[in-house]
Amino acid sequence: MTLHLDERQRAMLAEMGIRPRLPAARTRRRAEAGEAGAETQAAETRVPADQAPPTARPPVAPLRPAAPREAAVAPVPASALGPRPEGVADMDWATLESTVAACRACGLCAGRTQTVFGVGARVADWMVIGEAPGENEDRQGQPFVGQAGKLLDNMLAAIGVSRQAALGPETDASEKADGQGREKQGVYIANVLKCRPPGNRNPQPDEIAQCEPYLRRQVALVRPKIILAMGRFAVQSLLRTTEPIGRLRGRVHQYEGVPVVVTYHPAYLLRALPEKAKAWQDLCLALEVMRG
Ligand code: URA
């Protein structure tokens, strides 16, 4: 799809680090070179946000040297796990947050520094759902704080949304308005998993199942008008499907009665620069949904 951009949209794309013509031209060249079907499931596989991803595609510089291998986390014996907490569907924010912090319903509790609950405006039109905390998030207790988080913030800024907006008087005024003085909209950002999978391995189905009630309650409390689901695990677990993102993009799905737009994970976009143009299309679709 060709994007026709006005000056303001070009400025937005610059915030995302996109040069508008380049991705389309590159994509066309790749197609002409016979590289059809670039959106494979493998390409959407979870990329640890805070490690240099192995890249098959030039020219992406590594983000940082590969992290040293971590000591394996000993599996938690079933007797040391707690029951899945009850009454989650009726909890208020404070109870939900403390319940998550104390959760021992799956083995991930053994390796975490802390749980990563969520960040942003607790009532917001926008909600972003990622996959799971990485090393930085586990250390800092906030979702999306690494390189992928920076890209996410730029993507959100491009559509006038900020995790700092709607947070009250203590927030810096520059975080609340865009370059043209328009008020930014608030967003709540959470992950499917609240604990870091050791070594940033893929989330397991039982871990997703144990954590899902927490996310469902967060969605009910935030009452977003749109959910942006980022990355294969978030998308597939929210939509209960095994379809790859490439086949789910461009349509509006539903989760608990809330419209969902799916897009690539920012960590994937960091190593697949031409795909940023598609992410931009996804953001435009989300904006359209928001504007009714
Ligand atoms: N990737 C995610 O999906 N979530 C985070 O919080 C960090 C990286």
Instruction: Provide mean pLDDT across the span 67-94.
Output: 78
Reply yes or no on whether the pLDDT at 33 is more than 90: no
Model confidence pLDDT, tens digit, residues 202-244? 999 999 999 999 999 999 999 999 999 999 999 999 999 999 9
Q: How confident is the model at residue 260 (pLDDT cuts 50, 70, 90)?
A: very high
Establish whether residue 231 lines the binding site of ligand 1, counting it when its CB lies within 6 angstroms of any ligand atom: yes
pTM of the model: 0.79
Residue with tokens 């461009």: 250
52, containing H or E segment: none
| Residue 36 confidence (pLDDT) | 30
Establish whether residue 244 lines the binding site of ligand 1, counting it when its CB lies within 6 angstroms of any ligand atom: no
The alpha carbon torsion through 280, 286, 290, 292 (nearest 10 deg) reads 100
Instruction: Provide mean pLDDT across the span 126-155.
Output: 96
Going by their DSSP bridges, the two strands 119-120 and 185-191 should be labelled as antiparallel
Q: How confident is the model at residue 6 (pLDDT cuts 50, 70, 90)?
A: low
Identify the DSSP state of 241: -
Exposed/middle/buried for residue 276 (C-beta within 10 Å: 0-12, 13-18, 19+): buried
* Residue count (the chain): 292
Cα-trace Rg, the chain: 19
Model confidence pLDDT, tens digit, residues 106-124? 999 999 999 999 999 999 9
Query: Alpha-carbon torsion 19, 288, 40, 32, what sign?
Result: negative
Q: How confident is the model at residue 50 (pLDDT cuts 50, 70, 90)?
A: very low
Residues 6+ away with beta carbon under 8 Å from 87: none
Distance 4 CA to ligand 1 centre (A): 31
Give how far Cα 133 sits from Cα of 35, 140, 194, Å.
33, 10, 7
Distance 201 CA to ligand 1 centre (A): 12
Identify the DSSP state of 183: B
- The per-residue pLDDT of the chain, averaged, comes to 81
Distance 6 CA to ligand 1 centre (A): 32
Strand partners, 126: 187, 226
| Residue 54 confidence (pLDDT) | 37
Going by their DSSP bridges, the two strands 185-191 and 258-263 should be labelled as unpaired
Q: Which of 128, 135, 144 to mutate for ligand 1's pocket (most ligand atoms within 8 Å of CB)?
A: 144
What are all long-range contacts of 242-247, with beta carbons under 8 Å and residues at least 24 apart? Answer: 244/39, 244/40, 244/41, 244/44, 245/39, 245/44, 246/39, 246/40, 246/44, 247/39
Model confidence pLDDT, tens digit, residues 162-199? 999 866 655 666 666 666 666 789 999 999 999 999 99
Distance 132 CA to ligand 1 centre (A): 5
| Residue 46 confidence (pLDDT) | 55
| Residue 52 confidence (pLDDT) | 37
Cα distance between residue 161 and residue 64, in whole Å: 28
Closest CA to 107 of 190, 217, 195, 48: 195
| Residue 14 confidence (pLDDT) | 74
Establish whether residue 133 lines the binding site of ligand 1, counting it when its CB lies within 6 angstroms of any ligand atom: yes
Model confidence pLDDT, tens digit, residues 245-258? 999 999 999 999 99
Distance 32 CA to ligand 1 centre (A): 34
Closest CA to 112 of 163, 86, 76, 77: 76
Reply yes or no on whether the pLDDT at 285 is more than 80: yes
